[in-house]
Amino acid sequence: MEDSYYSLFKGTYKYYVKYRPEIPEKVIQVIADHFYLKITDRILDIGCGTGQVARAFKEKCKEIVNVDADPEMLRWAKKITKSCKTKLVWVNCRAENLMKIKDKLGVFKIATCSRAFHHMNQEKVLENLDRLIKQNGGVALFSDRALWNGKRRWQKILKEIVEKYSNKVKSFSRERSYKTSNALWENVLRRSVFKKVKTYEISVVRKWDIQRIIGYLLSTSVCAPPLFGNKIDDFKEDVRKTLFSLNPKGIFQEKAVWSVVLGSRKEKK
């Protein structure tokens, strides 16, 4: 039976690679500075997707071990990180099952998780990381909000279109059947060994054209192409016409916020 975790993103890969915004340098620098990351350190990236964290950290560490449950995500990630000078290792495994391969993984200075922690069994994952992260290391959880959750009028209308199709097309029930966690990451970390928590919010301004907006939507689990069945062209045209009616130039600006939640062990007395 197909793993429902990675089947969420079935059909999204080429859109994910092309249209998902990259992780800002400021986000990476905040993490590196907080944990005093050195070029000799190793990073474990869980839920790595198409390797955005690996690309963003560039030459800030010795090695990044990238873990994802979806083999197709890893296939795309390997393609687009070939020029990366940092040593990259790719592991097809769920973060909840890391203890099964603990001896092969070794230990790390930090574990990162970008745009994926809400899909995981968070308590189990943090228990695993306790045995994989150095005493002076920690966990970095970070994400920007979905495009349709912004406050601008065009984003609210975009959300209405997504909801219209999710109610109209039966196959959207597949996405709804997989539950994600809405718990605050700060609270989840405080219940773990990584209970010393620091949170940062980093604002960025992004410009979107209509093709990029549609591509972004189709990169998400909520709007994965297979969910639409034979209605995907209708969805694309609906988004296109609606956005052009709002702005004939087809250019939209978004103020996005990256939430960065960092957890460390409390110092022993």
Supply angle C-alpha 137, 116, 242, rounded to 5.
140
Is 205 domain-assigned?
Answer: yes
Average pLDDT over residues 2-8: 57
Please write the tens of the pLDDT for every residue from 38-47: 999 999 999 9
Structural domains in the chain (count): 1
**Confidence band, pLDDT 50/70/90 cuts, at residue 3:** low
Is the pLDDT assigned to residue 6 strictly greater than 70? no
Over residues 241-253, mean pLDDT: 97
Percent of the chain with pLDDT strictly greater than 70: 93
* pTM as predicted: 0.92
Quick one: pLDDT at residue 179?
59
- State the average pLDDT for the chain: 91
Q: What is the mean pLDDT of residues 61-86?
A: 94
Chain segment 173-195, per-residue pLDDT in tens: 554 445 577 789 999 999 999 99
Rounded Cα gap, residues 20 and 257, in angstroms: 15
Tokens standing for residue 156: 């609210």
Average confidence (pLDDT) over 129-151: 96
Whether residue 59 lies inside any domain: the answer is: yes
Q: Kindly state whether residue 105 falls inside one of the protein's structural domains.
A: yes
Q: What span, in angstroms and rounded, lies between the C-alpha atoms of 129 and 111?
A: 7
The token duo for 11 is 């059909």
Q: How many residues does the chain have?
A: 269
Residue 18's pLDDT is 95
Band of pLDDT at residue 1, cut at 50, 70 and 90: very low
Given pLDDT bands bounded at 50, 70 and 90, which one contains residue 11?
A: confident
3-state helix/strand/coil string of the chain: CCCHHHHCCCCCHHHHHHHCCCCCHHHHHHHHHHCCCCCCCEEEEECCCCCHHHHHHCCCCCEEEEEECCHHHHHHHHHHCCCCCCEEEEEECCHHHHHHHHHHHCCEEEEEEECCHHHCCHHHHHHHHHCCEEEEEEEEEEEECCHHHCCCHHHHHHHHHHHHHHHHCHHHHHHHCCCCCCCCHHHHHHCCCCCEEEEEEEEEEEEEEHHHHHHHHCCCCCCCHHHHHHHHHHHHHHHHHHHHHHCCCCEEEEEEEEEEEEEECCCCC
Task: Work out the average pLDDT over 231-246.
Answer: 97
Confidence category of residue 58, pLDDT binned at 50, 70, 90: confident
Domain that residue 206 falls in: 4-264
Mean pLDDT of 160-168: 88
Considering the domain boundaries, does residue 237 fall inside one?
yes
Q: Would residue 269 count as lying in a domain?
A: no
Is residue 223 predicted with pLDDT exceeding 70? Answer: yes
Q: Cα(57)–Cα(55) distance, rounded to whole angstroms?
A: 6
Token couple for 74: 């890893």
CATH number of the domain encompassing residue 146: 3.40.50.150
Nearest Cα to Cα of residue 96 among 62, 70, 76, 69:
69
164 within a domain of the structure (yes/no): yes
Q: Per-residue pLDDT averaged across 77-82, rounded?
A: 94
Confidence check: pLDDT of 125 > 80: yes
